[in-house]
Amino acid sequence: MQVAPQRQASGEPFAAAIARRMLSQGASAAGRDVPEAELESLRTRAAGLAPGISLSRASVTQGLAHQQIMAATSIENLWAGDADMQLIARETSAKAIGGLQSTADGDGDGEDDAEGDASRPRG
């Protein structure tokens, strides 16, 4: 998995995510002619947003995988007795667990990293 340089630091700078969103909304994509003054204004506004909020990308990815497992449980509950939907629930859960293992692996390649092996329970 290719990791953008800004995400290789210890934490995901969420102000950056907001800034990117602001640019998506306000200035849109590269190629559009955005006046430098407007860009500077966006930079300034971005600088004032949520300073200090910094969470690791792995935490967010794991949180999303856990929610996917919760979604699978909801599907299982809502369509109890529906064989097709029970299969969907199982597939949803299995893929989420695969995602969690990939995140725990650290590099997303689906294979164990040396430093992660010692603490990870074996099935």
Q: Which of residues 38-77 bind other proteins (CB under 8 A)?
A: 39, 42-43, 46-47, 49-55, 57, 59-61, 63-65, 67-68, 70-72, 74-75, 77
Rounded to the nearest 5°, which phi and psi values hold at 29?
-85, 165
Measured from the CB atom, the residue of 28 and 113 that comes closer to other proteins is 28
- Does 90 sit near other proteins (CB under 8 A)? yes
Measured from the CB atom, the residue of 31 and 121 that comes closer to other proteins is 31
List the one residue out of 49, 47, 59 whose CA is nearest residue 100: 59
Report the distance separating Cα 88 and Cα 105, nearest Å.
25
